[in-house]
Chains A and B, each alone.
Chain A
Amino acid sequence: MSILDFAGASQTTVSFVTNYGHRLYSDDFVRQLDQVFTPLPVGANGAGFFENQANPALVSDFLAMALSFEDASFDGALVWDSLQFLASPLLQTVVARLHRMLRPGASLLALFNTEERIESVPTFAYRIQDHRTIQMVSRSHRRPAQIFNNRSLEKLFQDFHSVKFFLTRDRLREVIVRR
């Protein structure tokens, strides 16, 4: 199987996935977002960051850099909490790309903060330690583009076959989507 991981490469995840004989494609999606959309000079916590996500030239740069895969390339995608930092037009584009990149029956895991009215949320590097443990390594705080509820998530993933929600202890909504 081919697995896409947006958390950035870590030894534990690489070992976990490859020990099962799977192929892992690793990228730090949030870092790519920052690279392309963070305005220069860098504003405090990305002033202009979301505005830049509406800039067609930057969007096409970003898609070429982060999501240039052939259709049906992956059997699973670990996007973790990265989608909540995408503003609306880009968010839909990225989800549509993910839909194309996944094979029918493939699963996608995404996390969203459940708190409303938050200015910034903690971000983490997620690492799979074993089949029941995910290590969350703190990275920074950043402002999400929007707050998601079950209904908005269902709408976001409407082209997928099914969407399941789980509430975790860490004020995160875990979403498992099947292509």
Chain B
Amino acid sequence: MDQESHACTKVIGPARFSPVAAIGGVRELLRHSDLLYTLTLHRIKVRYKQSVLGVGWAVLQPLLLMVVYTIIFSVIVKMPSEGAPYAVFVYAALLPWTFFSTSIATASASMVSHGSLITKVYFPREILPMTYVLAAFFDFLMASIVLAILLAIYHIAVGVSVLLVVPLMLIAFAFSLAMTLILSAFQVRFRDIGIAMGLVMQLWMYATPVVYPLSVVPKRYLWIYSLNPMSGVVENFRRVVLLHSSVNVAILIPGLLVCAVLLPVAYIYFKTAEATMADVI
């Protein structure tokens, strides 16, 4: 108790759009790291607790999409795949893409689905979307095992360059987080976001080099194409895992800049919206 009496005063005032307050928010978030861990664990546990397939579900989605896209783009339509078997070519891209799309689909609804909690207990609200992004990352790790198996089946050797997936996934993580912070806070006021997101994500996938290589994209559209951070992540993920080629920096940089600007802005916006979220949810 004595230590507590020297603790700094917590001041609660009217909500303001303030970068300074957002820094305080990060500090508060770090204090609640245990909650982030517990809730993420809970997310993963609950998802698999009553299902027969369990962790298999994490693998099933990219695997099934791989089969479908392979039939369409390899058997029916001949899509160039830069020398790699099309199945592995598309699966390697589906891994980071599925992480992103699952994050968006589950996390944007996180505020609305936890409405009863938000009106009753305080904790840094960004923990809710974060746990969904982390759970999607767990799925990504599970689905990566299948990629390893596919690589073994097709006798594709993996070089040291594979380690570059770590920074690439960090970019994907930051971008997913930024998007979910904006979308989840927005969905509290506009429930339509949830319905629209399904459609948007479908279109977005075709604006990302998942089922086709970057090389088929016309040069003059590349600059706008590269503003999508997922383009750089997906293309380079495939390059470092399958093709042993160096990272395509030109496609990565614009998206990286978008990420660097978007994440802090998204967080400040979220913290401002958070203050009165309980009143409108």
User: Do A and B share a complex?
Assistant: no
- Contacts from A to B (Cβ < 8 Å): none
- Contacts from B to A (Cβ < 8 Å): none
